[in-house]
Amino acid sequence: MLETARTYYKLHGPIAATRLANDDKLDDTCPIERVPTKRGITIDAVEAFFTSIVEGKARNMSQDAGISTLTSILGRMTCEFQRQITWDEMLRTG
Better-predicted residue by pLDDT, 42 or 19: 42
Q: What is the pLDDT of residue 55?
A: 92
CA distance 15 to 24: 7
In this prediction the pTM is 0.47
**pLDDT above 50 for 23:** no
Q: What is the pLDDT of residue 28?
A: 53
CA distance 18 to 31: 11
Range(s) of the domain holding residue 53: 2-93
**pLDDT above 70 for 24:** no
- pLDDT of 34-83, one tens digit each? 677 777 777 777 888 888 888 998 878 888 889 899 999 999 999 999 99
* β-sheet bridge partners, residue 33: 11
Count of domains observed in the chain: 1
| H helix runs in the chain, sequence order | 41-54, 62-81, 87-93
